[in-house]
Structure 1
Amino acid sequence: MTAAPQSKPLLKFRFNRQLWQRFVEIAQPYFYPPGARSSTQFLFLILTQLVFVVAFTFFFVVALALIGFQFSPKFFAGLVNEIIYLKFLSSLGKSSVEIFQNLLTFLPAYIFLVLLILSSGIFYAYRRKLRGRERQWLVLGLLLFLAFIVSSLNVLISYVFRFIDNALNGRDPKVFWEFLWVYGITLVVAIPILIAYRYTRRKLALFWREWLTNMLLKDYFSNRAYYELDSNAANTDIDNPDQRMTEDVNSFTTTILDLILDILDSVLDLVAFTGILYSISTELTFGLVGYVSIASIMALWIGTKLIKINFNQLRLEGDFRYGMVHVRDNAESIAFYRGENLELGNVEGRFARAIRNYDLLIIWIALLDIFQYAYKYFARLVPYLIVAPLYFAKKVDFGTIGQGIFAFQMVLSALSIIPTRIQDISSFTASIERLGTLYERFRQRETKDFAGNEGIIVSPANHFKVDGLTLNTPNAEQTLIQNLSFELAPAQSLLVVGSSGCGKSSLLRAIAGLWRNGTGTIESPDYTQTLFLPQKPYMLLGTLRAQLQYPNLRANITDAEIQSALVRVNLENLTTRMGGLDTEKDWAAVLSQGEQQRLAFARILLSQPKYVILDEATSALDVTNERRLYELLQSQDISYISVGHRPSLVDYHQTVLDLRPDRDRSWQLLAAEDYQFAS
């Protein structure tokens, strides 16, 4: 995890083609495999599923209407007279046989049936491409179906209130109580459907988050991408990748479904209620469209500002969190230096930048609130101003007023998706940008690796060989080693020495394939046969057993083997002292540096690699323990390369590579017995 440079300029984000492409790159793979023309096919399948759901919903609504006739024939007779695609049910007193015969002569029924069969056939034809993705399509189809049902229930409720208002106006208690019962039954049916709709949305978002996070994690840990995105590498332009794969993925998957399904709900409500609104007043309909259009333009202008501020807030929050984690990870070093005041200033500076940006954010949110409240409350006056004169002129009945206001609010809500959700859209856009750049970096690495365009060519072998190596720092600002060549036969050992900063550890990084900025070729054993011991051993989160077995090059390591290895590295009492092999502790804090280095040598004995690379792996040990460990290493018939400063290390190696820049040559390769450390 690394923080982005504070001076890094912010980009300006807009709703453009690049943003759409990044959205598709992130969203599509969950539903459809990427490839040539895959985006077009993905959108085609989305439309196909929408067609399937529309056709299925038609027959479902017809079935519900037939059931409704059994409970409240008067209400449903009035209802189907108002809805064009249910008018074949309109005549009261018809038997089920007559209604079924009408359905057989109703042309839209055949159209919906053909669409249902055709869309099912299309999905069957794509079954191989969708293999492994059946769950998400089924859940998405269920969501679309529930969205249609919820919209249909809203239409039903609008007519219930219209008939209730007319019964009140006509002082007809019998009709009033009958429709009130209809409303109660409708609520009993509607509430579970609405809850199921909301639950399914969250469930699909959870499935999607799990899949997308796992995909990014695989990319992150593939080919050491996590190393290239670390602050030690050149590619530090991707700030806080951990935050992007946790918070941004969660925001993306949750918000995308909310927005897309809210847009779908809005479209359905728009189609359903615009007809009702238009039948009441054309002036009201067109006035509403103009009112919302102007508001949407203003909301987009405010949203453009919010996108940039939201993106900056995500980055600054990540920087602040990283500063706190950095203090936690280096608490002992900071305490030794008494550097708490400097660290406090650093963390406070990061926090202050986040606060300043958040202060700007809440100012713009306040401006957005002013706009949204004014937009909301002024809109409530419009239907009264238009529908009331129509009622006074006796052009509409009393129930039409309530239904008109309800329809107006539904259409207003449908058209107001941008003005009312601009803050969510802004945050969502920032998440797309951050996830999109991370996803593109992973894809660029895959393309680069596949094309073989690396500067230093690293290939597998059963030995170490370096030929004509010129090694640069990752940012290419400095050349560390020039034209280096050597070969290490199996069971041979090499000691790399030199002054600080001459490139000793960097050479090990190049041999391990971590640094490839430069020229030349490197042949090195496969990583499954090689074990690397850094100066500060890696202590993973887990049990003592897991520490010793890491990185699991061998399976089925027995407790007796583990205890024997601990005895040989002079840690025979460690298991007893720590409470057993299955004890979990913060090992980096519990064990001293010397104990950690000896534990790392125990990993060699247990993993039994053929090759070992040691980067000052005994720097915290006394000479006696160092001798003991290297003698163990020599007894294992292992080929190894060491980096170190101590003259005593020469005794355990056959060859010495001297990288001291103050010699006549930039490097020298000597037999161990011929080499002497400079005073």
Structure 2
Amino acid sequence: MDRLNLQVFRQFWAIAKTYWFSEEKWQARGLLLGVVLFLLAYTGLSVVLNNKRGVLISALSAKDESRFWETVVIFISVLVIYAPLLAGYRYLRDRLSLQWRRWLTNRFVDNYFGDRAYYNLSTSDVDIDNPDQRIAEDVRSFTQESLTFLLVLVESVLSVIAFSGVLWGISRSLVLFLLLYALVGTLVTTVVFGKPLVRLNFEQLKKEADFRFSLVRIRENAEAIAFYRGEEQEATQVKYRFLEVFDNVKRLLLWELNLNVLTNAYEFIPFILPALVVAPAIFAGELEVGKVSEAQGAFIRVFFSLNLVVARFQALTTFGAGINRLYSFAEFLEQVELASAELEPVEPEQTQPIEATETAATTLTTIQTVTADRLALEHLTLQTPSYQRTLVEDLSIEVPTGQGLLVMGASGCGKSSLLRAIAGLWIAGKGTIVRPDADQILFLPQRPYMVLGSLRDQILYPNTHLEADDQHLTQILEQVNLADLAERFGGFEVERDWADVLSLGEQQRLTFARLLLQKPNYAILDEATSALDADNEARLYQHLRAIGTTFLSVGHRSTLTQYHQSVLELSQDKTWQLHNQS
């Protein structure tokens, strides 16, 4: 995005309308109406206060004591009402902003996790950096700044209407000059400063997020960095990221300096001009002295209302950059949702492969998923998501119910990729995958995932709605040789950074506990016991076979063959062989 133009407003409305026409639209509109009513009352009282300030000066100049005290009483009475009105206006505005942020954050989070968009983002070549910042910070900025600019615009319109009447009654030439002056200032500012400031603010948001992310990665990979003694390289990388932030801020400050020089000089004239225009009439005795103060107050209110773009231009450019980041993120999530809707699993009788859109030279095909009470691959050809490499060709196998299939082969031949295809993460290729509903399958990925939460949460994940008492959980931990785990950390409700306090072998056994507790009909295991010794591995697979789960494993160890009824060997040349164990 290079400039502040109509494209920004189109993107803004595409995001904003989802809330104002949602199921909460009446509550939102009611709050907005309350804010506007408070603003109307607040603006009306501002006109009264501005008038009474001029009357005070006129009364003092004329030495009219009774008029002075009468005006003081009125001024204080209005102020008593004015102060809570202003406070109430700000409260309702911030409350509406908070409500909007909650709704929009929930919408982005739902779309981010829906249809595995978070995974698609990590594997796609789309330039969507730092989705965490876009959900946490850009949404907050969007809702707050949207309301701020909207209400400032409404307030400006009301001020122009209310105070222009005051100015018109004092001097018509002031009104005409003010309109021309504000128009010229707005055009000069947007034309000269628009494009560079929007670009620099967009880059600043990205570079700040990249810098913060580099620090987060160090915390998450502290042990690995320490083993490699990679402190110097990591420090250099962090400093480099910060240097990019620093250089961009320097360029931004130079443009802001030039903008501030213009705006400071531009905004000084309204403080002196009303006095110059009204002075001849006062010297001639046609106007009271207090009219100078009244004219000056009204002129400044109208000027800054008309001068909205110039006065808030830097904030507008930052806001425009944030809109662009949020819109591109929302657009990506929408595309994922549409693509997922087109590739919904079909019924068993529908067996024709689904074809994707045609590219310039070839027709790309996608793997079809059929829902059934079995796990089978039919004439499956699996490719990488970019369609640049074929991993397996024409693979047809079925895992008999209650038995186990072991997938083996050299690194890079497509073992883990095959599991991704079964899970629906990779769809590039052709053929059919027949599998049960997702809630009947439990996947144990190669890298154990420890959730944020208690020990109970770790065991129940991802079905945290399950009910299991402490005694049952203890029995499960005993089966995976972690009998003392709850006692060691102080019970099942204690919260720790489990990925940090548990060894890799303990993490793998803990994820196996999830499988033994939930007893799914099907289990997919990707190197799920790679960090375990032979005894612990044998123990886990014995328990797995005892619960009657149909399972498919990926592994390198030859010892794994004894726990499976058949072995699928994949080769680097895309061929495969199936061996039945005796």
Task: State the TM-score bracket (shorter-chain normalisation).
Answer: over 0.9
Residues 4 and 194 of structure 2 are in contact (CA less than 8 Å); yes or no, is this contact kept in structure 1? no
Following TM superposition, by how much is the alpha carbon of 1:236 offset from its aligned partner in structure 2, in angstroms? 4.1
Q: Give the match's secondary structure for 2:406.
A: strand
Residues 1:21 and 2:10 are matched in the alignment: yes
Q: Give the match's secondary structure for 1:229.
A: helix
The equivalences for 1:27-426 within 5 A come to 27-33=16-22, 132-230=24-122, 233-301=123-191, 302-426=193-317
Q: Give the match's secondary structure for 1:486.
A: strand
Tell me the distance in 1 between the aligned counterparts of 2:316 and 2:335.
28
Give the unaligned 5+ runs of structure 2: 344-354, 357-365
Q: Deviations over 1:321-364 (max 9, x none)?
A: 11111111111111111111111111211111111111111222
Following TM superposition, by how much is the alpha carbon of 1:602 offset from its aligned partner in structure 2, in angstroms? 1.2
- 2:461 aligns to what? 550
Tell me the distance in 2 between the aligned counterparts of 1:472 and 1:13.
41
- 2:580 aligns to what? 671
Residues 1:646 and 2:557 are matched in the alignment: yes
Tell me the distance in 2 between the aligned counterparts of 1:463 and 1:348.
53
Q: In the alignment, which of 503, 507, 513 is matched to residue 602 of structure 1?
A: 513
- 1:567 aligns to what? 478
Residues 307 and 429 of structure 1 are in contact (CA less than 8 Å); yes or no, is this contact kept in structure 2? yes
Residues 565-574 or 213-222, more deviating: 565-574
Residues 270 and 299 of structure 2 are in contact (CA less than 8 Å); yes or no, is this contact kept in structure 1? no
Residues 554 and 606 of structure 1 are in contact (CA less than 8 Å); yes or no, is this contact kept in structure 2? no
- 1:12 aligns to what? 2
Q: Give the match's secondary structure for 2:312.
A: helix
Residues 1:580 and 2:491 are matched in the alignment: yes
Residues 661 and 667 of structure 1 are in contact (CA less than 8 Å); yes or no, is this contact kept in structure 2? no
Residues 532-541 or 156-165, more deviating: 156-165
Q: Deviations over 1:507-548 (max 9, x none)?
A: 111100111122222122222111111222111111111111
- Opposite residue 188 of structure 2, the aligned amino acid is M
Structure 1 pair 602–443 and aligned structure 2 pair: CA distance change class (3 A): same
- Opposite residue 581 of structure 2, the aligned amino acid is A
Tell me the distance in 2 between the aligned counterparts of 1:451 and 1:540.
31
- Overall identity of the aligned pairs, in %: 42
Residues 4 and 317 of structure 2 are in contact (CA less than 8 Å); yes or no, is this contact kept in structure 1? no
Tell me the distance in 2 between the aligned counterparts of 1:459 and 1:266.
60
Following TM superposition, by how much is the alpha carbon of 1:235 offset from its aligned partner in structure 2, in angstroms? 4.4
- 1:39 aligns to what? none
Tell me the distance in 1 between the aligned counterparts of 2:338 and 2:539.
46
Tell me the distance in 2 between the aligned counterparts of 1:569 and 1:328.
29
- 2:526 aligns to what? 615
- Opposite residue 206 of structure 1, the aligned amino acid is L
Tell me the distance in 1 between the aligned counterparts of 2:63 and 2:465.
87
Residues 571-580 or 144-153, more deviating: 571-580
- 1:461 aligns to what? 372
Residues 557-566 or 322-331, more deviating: 557-566
Q: Give the match's secondary structure for 1:640.
A: strand
TM-score scaled by length of structure 1: 0.80
Structure 1 pair 373–548 and aligned structure 2 pair: CA distance change class (3 A): same
Tell me the distance in 1 between the aligned counterparts of 2:414 and 2:518.
29
Following TM superposition, by how much is the alpha carbon of 1:225 offset from its aligned partner in structure 2, in angstroms? 1.1
Tell me the distance in 2 between the aligned counterparts of 1:552 and 1:470.
32
- Opposite residue 667 of structure 1, the aligned amino acid is W
Following TM superposition, by how much is the alpha carbon of 1:29 offset from its aligned partner in structure 2, in angstroms? 1.7
Q: Give the match's secondary structure for 1:609.
A: coil
Tell me the distance in 1 between the aligned counterparts of 2:75 and 2:580.
95
Q: Deviations over 1:86-136 (max 9, x none)?
A: xxxxxxxxxxxxxxxxxxxxxxxxxxxxxxxxxxxxxxxxxxxxx543321
Following TM superposition, by how much is the alpha carbon of 1:32 offset from its aligned partner in structure 2, in angstroms? 0.8
- Opposite residue 461 of structure 1, the aligned amino acid is A
Residues 270 and 296 of structure 2 are in contact (CA less than 8 Å); yes or no, is this contact kept in structure 1? no
- Opposite residue 158 of structure 2, the aligned amino acid is L
Tell me the distance in 2 between the aligned counterparts of 1:216 and 1:353.
29
Q: Deviations over 1:14-69 (max 9, x none)?
A: 312x3222211211121214xxxxxxxxxxxxxxxxxxxxxxxxxxxxxxxxxxxx
Following TM superposition, by how much is the alpha carbon of 1:204 offset from its aligned partner in structure 2, in angstroms? 0.9
Give the unaligned 5+ runs of structure 1: 1-10, 34-130, 674-679
Tell me the distance in 2 between the aligned counterparts of 1:526 and 1:671.
27
Residues 457 and 464 of structure 2 are in contact (CA less than 8 Å); yes or no, is this contact kept in structure 1? no
Q: In the alignment, which of 522, 544, 553 is matched to residue 633 of structure 1?
A: 544
Residues 1:428 and 2:319 are matched in the alignment: yes
Identify, as 1 or 2, the structure richer in strand.
2
- 2:348 aligns to what? none
Q: Deviations over 1:394-414 (max 9, x none)?
A: 343323222111111111011
